[in-house]
Amino acid sequence: MYNGLDPVLNTPVRLAIVSVLVKVRQADFNYLMEVTQTTQGNLSQQIKKLNEAKYIEVIKTFKGNYPQTICKLTDTGKKAFEKYVADIKIYLHL
């Protein structure tokens, strides 16, 4: 029905991840899980898809002895989000 909308962003978890990353400079995995209220497995999968689309950059690091995943929005992701917002505004006649 809404074929013009970016299929990468047009799902709840991926759109939520990108919406968070618009507001923050970087976010770690636990924070994204808290905000998106999704499971660890699903979040990993959605992050992978956003990373494959080059919308986000994923940095693997360590905090103390524990591995930590950090996500940052790329310029491609930022432009895609801006276009997505512009597109939904057109659909909603805003």
Residues 33-52, one symbol each (x = binds other proteins by CB under 8 A, - = not), give --xxxxx-xx--x-------
Q: Which two tokens stand for residue 12?
A: 């709840």
Q: Does 24 bind other proteins (CB under 8 A)?
A: yes
Say whether residue 65 binds other proteins (CB under 8 A): no
DSSP states of 4-17 as a string? Answer: TS-TTTSSHHHHHH
1 binds other proteins (CB under 8 A): yes
Q: Which of 25, 76, 24, 17 is nearest to 46 (CA)?
A: 17
Burial class (CB in 10 A: 0-12, 13-18, 19+), 43: buried
Work out how close the CB of 54 gets to other proteins at its nearest, in angstroms, rounded to a whole number: 20
Residues that bind other proteins (CB under 8 A): 1-2, 5, 10-13, 15-16, 19-20, 22-28, 31, 35-39, 41-42, 45, 59, 61, 63, 68, 70, 84-85, 87-88, 91-92
